[in-house]
Structure formats: C-alpha cells, structure tokens
Amino acid sequence: EGLLIVKIEEEDFVWRQDTSLQRSDDPFRQELCRQLFRQFCYQDSAGPREALSRLRELCHQWLQPETHSKEQILELLVLEQLVLEQFLSILPEELQTWVQEHGPENGEEVVTLLEDLERGADEA
C-alpha cells in the first residue's frame, strides 16, 4: 500500500514518499527518520555548527515535537540533550576526549569550543 522510495546521492539524502507515508504517525517514516538521525556522521558536514544544526533537524523530523504533545515530548530540553549526546558520539574520538575535558553544558558551547579549536589550528 505505502511505497517508500529512498534514493541516496553522494552529497545528500533525497527521498520521496507516497502520500500515505507522510502522515506523522506512520511507523515506516518515523523509523527512516530515526535511522537518518542515528547514522548521521560528523564528516558529512562542513563543520561543527552545520553538524549540530543537521542533527537538530533530523531529530525534529524523527520525533516531530510540533505534532506530538506527550508533555511536549518531555519538553525541548530532552530533545536538546538527545541531539547533544548524538553530536558528541559522531565526533572523531580525539575530539570527543578534548570536548569532554572542557565540560561544555550544551550544544552551542560544544560548537563554540570546536570552532575556536579550528580557528587556532588554521592560525598555526
């Protein structure tokens, strides 16, 4: 009944969905969005800010906080924590260690640390 077509291109995911799969409660669509979120790689982005932004976008596509209320899906803080955990997990191991040593409290602090590190490396 609902045919899902996934086309993977070199630079980006392009996917089309049958109208029956566009419903927010469709389990196939939700699973695809979950997989895209969980499989996103840091190296697929141009830098830390873009990676965090893309993870936020993928998380919202997966959990759809604008349509699911469940106490606002345990509020936006839970979403942000989920994004932060996933973002930290996709960083190269040496960056994970370096970030953890600096103890950032949120995604924006992680991005700022990484951007400062990149600027310092460019200047050296």
DSSP state of 11: S
Dump the DSSP string for 25-91. Answer: T-HHHHHHHHHHHHH--GGGSSSHHHHHHHHHHHHHHHH-TTT--HHHHHHHHHHHHHHHHHHHHHS
Task: Give me the pLDDT at residue 116, please.
Answer: 92
Model confidence pLDDT, tens digit, residues 57-71: 998 887 777 776 767
The residue ranges of the chain whose pLDDT is under 50 are 1-22
Q: Give pLDDT tens digits for 6-18.
A: 444 433 444 443 3
Does pTM surpass 0.85?
A: no
Q: What are phi and psi of 6, to 5 degrees?
A: -115, 125
For position 77, what pLDDT does the model report? Answer: 56
Residue 113 confidence (pLDDT) = 92
Interatomic CA distance for residues 71 and 65, integer angstroms: 10
> Which pLDDT value is given to residue 89?
92
